[in-house]
């Protein structure tokens, strides 16, 4: 987050609610600088490190093509979420405008409820603006990752299926040793073994290159499985 908008008036709102007694409120106020720092530096979604080492790990996505198309998926999902957030934001703005109008004519408990509704919406809208900034940051992050992957090796940027067999085969061949040794999850092991055997045979049929040592080791494991 680049601003402290969500922190603005937050302590005053909490104090006015009496949800904390005065002594507890003083303890919270002592944390003002720390809370401001936490809000200002909070990373809401994934960092580049998480994207590269967790999402695009070498086992599940062993080729530049498989990493690229996963990055494209992640970017698309984040954009779709940003679009949905924009609709929620527009509705919240309408709710806020409605609350402001109701405050002008409301009295008693109804007025108090309208004020709480307005304050809650104001706070929610500030968080939504920060969320939108964070979603934009991740969309841009995936763009940079895609550019780096695209420069690493030639592959089809449009059609995921073009290079998918090689990436999936490498994934299941790397998982094969653990699957063969599996003692409890028999169903999961059988699935990996079956996928590895089928994909290895299909790569040979299509003459899709695989690391020779990996392919030979996998054939030996499959014979003994």
In the prediction, which pLDDT does 225 show? 65
In the prediction, which pLDDT does 185 show? 80
**CA angle at 133 for the pair 99 and 72, rounded to the nearest 5°:** 125
What Å distances lie between residue 111 and 24, 123, 133, 153, 172, CA to CA? 28, 19, 33, 64, 63
In the prediction, which pLDDT does 120 show? 94
Residues 218, 203: Cα–Cα separation, whole Å: 13
* Residue 185: CA count within 13 A, CB half-sphere: 9
**CA angle at 191 for the pair 187 and 192, rounded to the nearest 5°:** 120
Structure tokens at 209: 């290159």
What φ, ψ does residue 199 adopt, rounded to 5°?
Answer: -70, -35
pLDDT in tens, the chain (225 residues): 345 677 778 888 999 999 999 999 999 999 999 998 988 888 999 999 999 999 999 999 999 999 999 999 999 999 999 999 999 999 999 999 999 999 999 999 999 999 999 999 999 999 999 999 999 999 999 999 999 999 988 999 999 999 999 999 999 999 999 998 887 788 999 999 999 999 999 999 999 999 999 999 999 999 876
Please answer whether residues 225 and 192 qualify as being in contact, where contact means their C-beta atoms are separated by less than 8 angstroms: no
Q: What is the largest CA-CA distance in the chain?
A: 81
In the prediction, which pLDDT does 186 show? 85
Mapped to the 3 state alphabet, what secondary structure does the chain carry? CCCCHHHCCHHHHHHHHCCCCHHHHHHHHCCHHHHHHHHHHCCCCCCHHHHHHHHCCCCCCCCHHHHHHHHHHHHHHHHHHHHHHHHHHHHHHHHHHHHHHHHHHCCHHHHHHHHHHHHHHHHHHHHHHHHHHHHHHHHHHHHHHHHHHHHHCCCCCCCHHHCHHHHHHHHHHHHHHHHHHCCCCHHHHHHHHHHHHHHHHHHHHHCCCCCHHHHHHHHHHHHHC
pTM tops 0.85: yes
Domain ranges for the chain: 1-42, 46-160, 163-224
């Amino acid at each position: 987050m680049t601003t402290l908008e969500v922190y603005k008036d937050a302590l005053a709102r909490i104090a006015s609610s009496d949800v904390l007694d005065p002594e507890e409120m003083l303890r919270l106020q002592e944390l003002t600088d720390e809370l401001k720092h936490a809000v200002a530096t909070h990373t809401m979604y994934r960092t580049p490190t998480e994207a590269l080492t967790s999402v695009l790990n070498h086992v599940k996505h062993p080729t530049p093509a498989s990493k690229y198309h996963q990055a494209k998926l992640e970017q698309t999902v984040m954009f779709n979420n940003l679009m949905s957030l924009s609709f929620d934001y527009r509705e919240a703005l309408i709710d806020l405008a409605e609350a402001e109008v109701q405050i002008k004519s409301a009295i008693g408990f109804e007025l108090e409820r309208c004020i709480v509704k307005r304050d809650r919406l104001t706070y929610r809208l500030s968080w939504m603006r920060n969320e939108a900034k964070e979603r934009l940051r991740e969309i841009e992050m995936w763009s940079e990752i895609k550019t780096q992957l695209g420069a690493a090796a030639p592959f089809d940027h449009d059609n995921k299926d073009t290079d998918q067999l090689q990436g999936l085969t490498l994934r299941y061949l790397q998982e094969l040793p653990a699957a063969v040794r599996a003692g409890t999850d028999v169903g999961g092991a059988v699935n990996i073994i079956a996928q590895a055997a089928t994909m290895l045979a299909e790569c040979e049929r299509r003459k899709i290159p695989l690391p020779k040592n990996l392919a030979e080791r996998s054939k030996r494991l499959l014979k003994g499985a």
